[in-house]
Amino acid sequence: MTLEQQKDNLRRMARTGILRGFTLLCATATLGALVGGLLTRHPVYGMVAGVAGVLWYAAHSTRAHIQHAAQALDLGATEPGRVHIEITCWSDSDTYLAKTAGTRSGTWQFPFIPQGWVPQAGAFDATCFLLPGLPWPALVLVDGNICHPRETPKRVA
């Protein structure tokens, strides 16, 4: 994907109600399966509640970061920085970790999921997009591609 396609995709994810609807659907399924399990004592409801609960947690924790990234992209408050990308190879997929260092925001570490590009391990010059009230970069432009936190970033000393 080109940079413009990545930006459009991020804005679409943030502005449409799909992720919000999915979060609500997963929460409802979790609650419904828990109630069904309590009423029937059938173990399949517990399994459904567990899967739906994990999906709810993933969607809920990611949704705010997607919205923050789109807001920061539109706001345009940036600072120069560096990003170090680490790749951990698992049996079926790769996990990506970014460590950003900005002059005002400090140093932060967060996992991310690349959207339409394949990151390379190493240190790169980056542009960090900042959002008022958020201590970490909401979005990082690195090597002509965007990445944003999947989970709440951790400060690195």
Residue 109 has pLDDT above 80, yes or no: yes
**pTM greater than 0.85:** no
Read off the amino acid at residue 151: E
Residue 112: count of CB within 10 angstroms of its CB:
21
Nearest to 9 by CA among 148, 126, 110, 119: 148
pLDDT for the residue 34: 95
Q: What percent of the chain has pLDDT over 90?
A: 73
Q: Is 38 helix (H, G, I), strand (E, B) or coil?
A: helix
Average of pLDDT values for 28-54?
A: 95
The structural domains of the chain, with segments of one domain joined by +, span 3-73, 77-155
Model confidence at 13, pLDDT cuts 50, 70, 90, reads confident
pLDDT for the residue 14: 87
Cβ neighbors of 84 (< 8 A, separation 6 or more) are 98, 99, 101, 122, 123, 124
